[in-house]
Amino acid sequence: MNGNVVVIGAGFGGLQCARSLARTPFEVVLIDRNDYHLFTPLLYQVASSLLNPSDIGYPVRSVFRGVPNVRYRMGDVTRVDLARRLVHPSDGPAESYDRLVIATGASVNFFGQDAIAAASHTLGDLPNALELRNHVLRCFEAASTTADPAARATWLTFVIVGGGPTGVEYAGALAELIRLVAGRDYSTIGRESVRMVLLEGQDELLPAFPVSLGAHARGRLTRFGIDVRVGTRVEGVRDETITLDTGERLDARTLVWAAGVQPSGLVRSLEVAKRQSGRIAVDAYLAVPGCIGVYAIGDAAGCIEGAAELPMLSAPAMQQGRRVARNFLREARGQAPRPFRYRDKGIMATIGRHAGVAKFGRLALRGFPGWVAWLVVHLYFIIGFRNRFAVLSLWAWNYFLHDRPIRFVVRAAPPKT
Amino acid sequence: MNGNVVVIGAGFGGLQCARSLARTPFEVVLIDRNDYHLFTPLLYQVASSLLNPSDIGYPVRSVFRGVPNVRYRMGDVTRVDLARRLVHPSDGPAESYDRLVIATGASVNFFGQDAIAAASHTLGDLPNALELRNHVLRCFEAASTTADPAARATWLTFVIVGGGPTGVEYAGALAELIRLVAGRDYSTIGRESVRMVLLEGQDELLPAFPVSLGAHARGRLTRFGIDVRVGTRVEGVRDETITLDTGERLDARTLVWAAGVQPSGLVRSLEVAKRQSGRIAVDAYLAVPGCIGVYAIGDAAGCIEGAAELPMLSAPAMQQGRRVARNFLREARGQAPRPFRYRDKGIMATIGRHAGVAKFGRLALRGFPGWVAWLVVHLYFIIGFRNRFAVLSLWAWNYFLHDRPIRFVVRAAPPKT
C-alpha cells in the first residue's frame, strides 16, 4: 500500500488528521514549526495576562507518545515539490509523500499596508501574544514614570482594530485587566485616564453573528468603558498617530491588529487554483484538483458549502481532518471516499466576565447563558487533563478574586545555537 | 524627618527591606528592571520544563498594592551619584534619596573568559532559564532529524559546569527530563545515546556543604547516568568543542555555566571600598563607610561574620533587608541602630526525585529526609498563595505521573516599541 502521509501543520485540522491515522497502516509524518498544538481561541487570554503559554499549548510529541506510525518533525515547510511529491522543510532532508495534507492555517493579513504591519501588535501566535502582554504592562510602567501628560496619554491609549471574535474578546479581556490594575497596582493611573478604542469597518461588531448579538456585544463593551466605533477603518499609521477614515487622529502607543487573516505563506506560494480568499480551491473530497494525492483542510482550504466558503474556525478544520483521514482508510480498504459535509456546531465569543454571545443553529444566546456556553465548550475542547485543570483553576482564581497572577513582563533572551 | 528611601533591587533583600518599611513614615521607591520578584532557587525548574515563569515570579506591584508609601519603578539603574545623593535609572528622571539601599544581587561570573561566556547558557535570570529550556528541547528535535551520527552525539551531549547547588540541582532535573522524554517522546533517541557531564573544579560537589553530603549528591547523580567529574575545570570552548584542563575534549552543543557569580554591574561600577569578592565592604550596620546614608545588603554586600563573608543566599539577604529597615525606624525614633547578626537557617539542595541534602546547624540530612526538608522550606518561602498552589500542583503532577506538562519551545517575538 502507498502509505506515506505527510501532514503539514499541527493545528486543529492537522492534529485531528494525524490522530485519526494513529495506529493504522499509514506512515504519518506531522510537520510543524512549533512542537506544540495551540488552542488558539484562548490566545487572547495569554495576551491579557490571564493564562500561561503552557495552559493553551500541548506538546505534539506527547499526543503521539507510544504511537509507532506517527512521527513529529519540527520544521518550517518552505516549499512543496508537487511533481516529485516532496516536502522541503527549511533544514534537514526532504520528506516524500504518497498523500499530502496541507493544514497550515492562517496568518495575519495587513492587506499590504506595511506601515500598519510594522506598528501593529497581533494575536496570531504565542510569541506575539506574549509580546503584546509584555507591551501592555510596559505601557503602564512608562505612563507611571513620565511627567509629560501628552506622552502619558499616548502610553495609555489602546486601539484595537477588528470587531470579529478576536478583537471583541481581546478588548473585553484588556478592559478587565485595566480595571484590575488601574488605580490599584498603578495607584497614580486612574481608570478614567486609560482610553480603549475598538474599530470595526462593517456596520456592527461580530459580522459573522446575528446582528442582535453584535449589538449586544457593543453594548457590553461600551459599558466597560470602551469607545466602540463601527463603520470605521484605519487609514494609516505614522509615528504614534493612527489616522482613521473619518479623518480623526488617535495618538496611541498600542495598535492591536485583529482585522484580517489570510492563508499561510506556504499556501500563497503554491501554484494551484485558489479562491478569491486566497484559500486553495478544493473539491468535495478536500482534494486539490490536478495534484495527485494532495489535500487541503482548515483555513488553508476554500471549501464551498452552499453559497459560501466555510469560515476559518476550528470546527470545520477538525471535521475535515477527520474526513480526509477516514477517506484514506476507506481507499486503503478499496472503498470509495465520501464527500465532506460540515456539521455546524455554532459560533461563540466571550465579552469579559459573565457575558458572551453564542449561536447554535437558530438558537442565539447572550449575556450570562452565552458566557456559560462559551466556558463549557472551551473547557471541553482543551486538549489534555492537565491543561483543563490549570486553565480552570486560573479562571476560577480570576473569577472569584478579580486578579491575574501572571501580569509581569518576561523579557526574552535571544536564542543561542 | 529625612524620609526618602531608595531601594535598588526587588530580590530577596530589597523586597524584604521595602516590605519592612511599608506603612511607616518613610517614602520608599523600589527600583528594579523587572516588575516581578523572582524566587531564584527554583529557576532551574523553569529551565528544566517543570514550572512556568509565573510560578516563581510574583508582581512587585501586587506586593505593595494599597501601600501608600512604597512606589515601584521599573528601571535599570546605571549610575548612582553618591555626592548629590541621586539614583539615575536608564530612562526617566533621577530619584533623590536620604537613604539608599543597594540590593542589586549577583550576576553570572565567567572570570573574563569571553569565549566561554559567548557559548554558555546560564541560570541567572528568567529570560536565560527560558532560553535554556527552549534550547534543550531544540537539541532533541535537531538530534531526531539529523542523519549524521557525530552531529547527533553533539546535540545530545550536555555539559554543566559548576558543582554548587545550582549545577547539582539543574543536573538532577535535566536527568529527570531526559529520562522522561528519551525513548518516549523521542522514540528514536534512547537514553544511552544522551550524555550528561557535570564538572566541578574543587575536590567534591557542593563545596559549601559537609563533604559527606557532597559525596552523597555525587553518588545520586552518577546513578542517574551523569558523568560527574570533580577536580576538573573547563579550559576553553571553540565551535562545539569544550576543552577540559585534563586535556580531554567534549563535543557538545550545550554548555551550561553555573560555576560562579559576582556582584552586579552597578556594584562593580561604584567607587567604594570592596572585598576581594567584589562585594561592597560594609560595616557592622551594613552601611557603606564614607557614604552618608548608603547601605548594601545581600549578594551586593561583603558582610564579614566570624572569619568569612556571608554566603550569597536568600536568608542573609532577607535578614539584612529587615535589619536595615528596622534601623531606619530606630533612628527615626532617636534610638541607636543595632548591628546585623546572621541567624544561620541552614543550606539545602535537591537532587531529583526523592533525594536531597540539607544542613541545619550540626544536623545533616540526605536522601528522602533531605528532599522532604527541601520541599517544605521551598513551599513555605514562595511568596503568595497562588504561586504556592500552582507550584505544588505542578510538583505533584510531576511526582505522581512522571511527566512535565510544559515541555515545548516558546519562541520569543522581538519587542515593539
Per-residue pLDDT reduced to its tens digit, B165-204: 999 999 999 999 998 888 888 989 999 999 999 999 999 9
Which chain B residues are closer than 8 Å to A147 by Cβ? Answer: 93
Lookup: cell for B343: 541567624
Percent pLDDT > 90 in chain A is 71
Residues in chain A: 417
H, E, C per residue of B184-212: CCECCCCHHHCEEEEEECCCCCCCCCCHH
Taking residues B249-274, what's their average pLDDT? Answer: 96
B316 and B298 in contact (C-beta within 8 Å)? yes
Tell me: pLDDT of B395 over 60: yes
Closest CB to B54: pick one of A52, A58, A93: A52
Closest CB to A137: pick one of B35, B93, B121: B35
Active site amino acids of B: 169
CA distances from A258 to A122, A162, A242, A374, B212 (A): 7, 5, 15, 20, 60
Tell me: pLDDT of A398 over 70: no
* Site from A140, A185, A189, A393 to mutate, B interface, most B CB atoms within 10 angstroms: A185
A24 and A69 in contact (C-beta within 8 Å)? yes
The pLDDT of residue A370 is 82
CB-based contact A413 B144, cutoff 8 Å: no
As for the ipTM of the complex, it is 0.86
The Cα–Cα gap between A226 and A171 comes to: 8
Please report the residues numbered 64 through 103 in chain A whose beta carbons come closer than 8 angstroms to any beta carbon of chain B.
65-66, 68, 73-75, 91-93
Phi, psi of B342 (to 5 degrees): -85, 130
**Residues B329-354: tens digit of each pLDDT:** 999 999 999 999 999 878 888 887 77
Residues in chain B: 417
| pLDDT top residue among A23 and A382 | A23
CA B154 to chain centre: 28
Full-model pTM: 0.90
Active site amino acids of A: 169
B170 and B256 in contact (C-beta within 8 Å)? yes
Q: What distance in Å separates residue B57's CA from the closest CA in chain A?
A: 8
Element of type H or E holding B364: strand B363-366
The pLDDT of residue A181 is 87
Structural domains of chain A ordered from first start = 4-108+262-332 (3.50.50.60), 114-259 (3.50.50.100)
The Cα–Cα gap between B120 and B161 comes to: 10
CB-based contact A407 B59, cutoff 8 Å: yes
* Cα diameter, chain A: 75
Closest by alpha carbon to A373, among A389, A351, A391?
A351
Q: What distance in Å separates residue B142's CA from the closest CA in chain A?
A: 8
Taking residues B17-26, what's their average pLDDT? Answer: 96
| pLDDT top residue among A122 and B400 | A122
The pLDDT of residue A41 is 87
B41 and B314 in contact (C-beta within 8 Å)? yes
B236 band by pLDDT with thresholds 50, 70 and 90: very high
